[in-house]
Amino acid sequence: MVIGRGKNPSAQETFMQMAQASGLRGRVLVTVGLLLLARIGIAIPMPGINRAAFSEAVASSSGLGGGVLGFLDIFTGGGVSALGIFALGILPFINASIIIQLLTAALPSLEDLQKNEGEAGRRKISQITRYVALVWGMVQGTAIAIWANTYAYQPGTFFIAKTVIALAAGSMFIMWLGELITERGIGNGASLLIFVNIVATLPRSLGQTIALAQADQDRVGGIVILALVFLVTIVGIVFVQEGTRRIPIVSARRQVGKRMYAEKSSYLPLRLNQGGVMPIIFASTVLILPSFLANALQNQAVAKFVGYLQPNGPTPWFYALFYLTLILFFSYFYASLVVNPVDMAQNLKKMGSSIPGIRPGRATSEYIGRVLNRLTLLGAIFLGLVAIVPTAVESATGVTTFSGFGATSLLILVGVAIDTSRQVQTYVISQRYEGMVKQ
């Protein structure tokens, strides 16, 4: 097999490594095995529930509210609708991570742990995140247990308590599986768990779409249009996820002993979409909370107001405008957490590097800030289009079999696939150079 030293590994080389190299093969098998274990837990139902009544309630999306149920069910791979022991999945950990990220920007003590305490500080933040995930899992488990209590054979406090304990314990086990995948497998464990859960819901949606096309021939055109929109959206996501703005950097000449090193030119890459899928997740969560409160309070005035925040409500344009505003706000917020122009300018100054035509220090940080603001605006507009267009096409064509599978799901699927493939390529390249050194 011919291998190019400076090239990315081909598909043939990657599969050869998986077949021959025990290290990569072992990591792949560990990843697949742990993901299958997580899916098996979702299929094990909670005891003591009238399954027929519960399934009927899920089909009509009663109790929790359609938006909340659809959102949770997609990210748990049908765990909420099946009410398995792993029904919550990795969601409490993801929510805890978001909460800790927000608190890190607000609390100087957490910021100090993250920036100045090194590996020990990061381990402590990870431990805090686990505790928050446990508390959040109990909160979410309590909401689901109260909802499911109506369909229990022996409803009451004991049923709610045991359901909460089982759901929270299952969530902690899934979190542990995610950490094992990250440490001993391939890719990011939490992201892969969400990826598998989303993929697990696709056969059901595809089956419903095929049944709809067979039952109503007039819907075939709408289904084709929706499929084309999904394909175009996926291509756009790939381009935007890979898109970067390269700011040129020049390193000053320096003398080491008697040798003079010439100037070096490089670049500072700034991603077009700094926040990835996080702005849409934040915005979706904000939109879902009013629906949850309306169903919990059973108040007509609140329910009427919440109706204006639904895509199929009386004012869909208001929903779209509010959703776009939230995405824009969270895009800038998350970009400010990920990239700090002042720190970048200071680091460039310490390394003796500068941007051509820009003075070091404050001028450099202001320049990077302006570029970052423009990139964030473009990325937010793209995220807004990705979030709104599939929903609008579904409403226009009347094809709602993919309801709930929208922008967030597509972004996660494409983003996780790209990140995992990069990790596999990195491992294959490292094995390639190990083989060259041994030779």
**pLDDT at 180 (0 to 100):** 92
Banded pLDDT at 89 (limits 50, 70, 90): confident
Q: What is the pLDDT of residues 93-136, one digit of tens each?
A: 888 887 887 787 777 887 777 777 777 888 888 899 999 999 98
Q: State the DSSP string of 263-304.
A: PEEEEEEEES-TTTTHHHHHHHHHHHHHHHHHHHHT-HHHHH
Distance CA 409, CA 387 (A): 10
**pLDDT at 131 (0 to 100):** 92
Are 12-214 and 216-405 in the same CATH fold? yes
Mean local confidence (pLDDT), 9-25: 65
Q: What is the pLDDT of residues 144-158, one digit of tens each?
A: 888 888 888 888 889
| Residue 366: alpha-carbon gap to chain centroid | 30
**pLDDT at 281 (0 to 100):** 72
Residue ranges per structural domain of the chain: 12-214, 216-405
**% of the chain exceeding 70 in pLDDT:** 78
**pLDDT at 61 (0 to 100):** 53
Whole-prediction pTM value?
Answer: 0.76
Top mean-pLDDT range of 20-29, 49-58, 367-376, 394-403: 367-376
**pLDDT at 135 (0 to 100):** 92
Banded pLDDT at 177 (limits 50, 70, 90): very high
Question: Which sign, positive or negative, has the C-alpha torsion 66, 70, 76, 78?
Answer: positive
List the one residue out of 206, 244, 264, 220 whose CA is nearest residue 405: 206
Higher pLDDT, 162 or 223: 162
**pLDDT at 254 (0 to 100):** 58
Of all helices (H) and strands (E), which one includes residue 4?
none
pLDDT over 80 (residue 169): yes
Beta-carbon contacts of residue 243 (< 8 Å; ≥ 6 apart):
271, 272, 273
**pLDDT at 172 (0 to 100):** 93
Higher pLDDT, 100 or 294: 100
**% of the chain exceeding 90 in pLDDT:** 6
| Superfamily of segment(s) 12-214 | SecY subunit domain (1.10.3370.10)
Least confident of 16-20, 23-27, 79-83, 164-168: 16-20
Mean pLDDT of all residues belonging to the chain: 77
Banded pLDDT at 6 (limits 50, 70, 90): very low
Q: What is the pLDDT of residues 199-236, one digit of tens each?
A: 887 777 778 788 877 887 777 888 888 788 888 888 88
pLDDT over 70 (residue 402): no
Banded pLDDT at 291 (limits 50, 70, 90): low
Q: What is the CATH number of domain 216-405?
A: 1.10.3370.10
**pLDDT at 405 (0 to 100):** 60
pLDDT over 70 (residue 26): yes
**pLDDT at 434 (0 to 100):** 57
Distance CA 193, CA 188 (A): 9
The answer to whether residues 339 and 349 touch, using CB atoms and an 8 Å cutoff, is no
List the one residue out of 267, 276, 261, 265 whose CA is nearest residue 407: 276
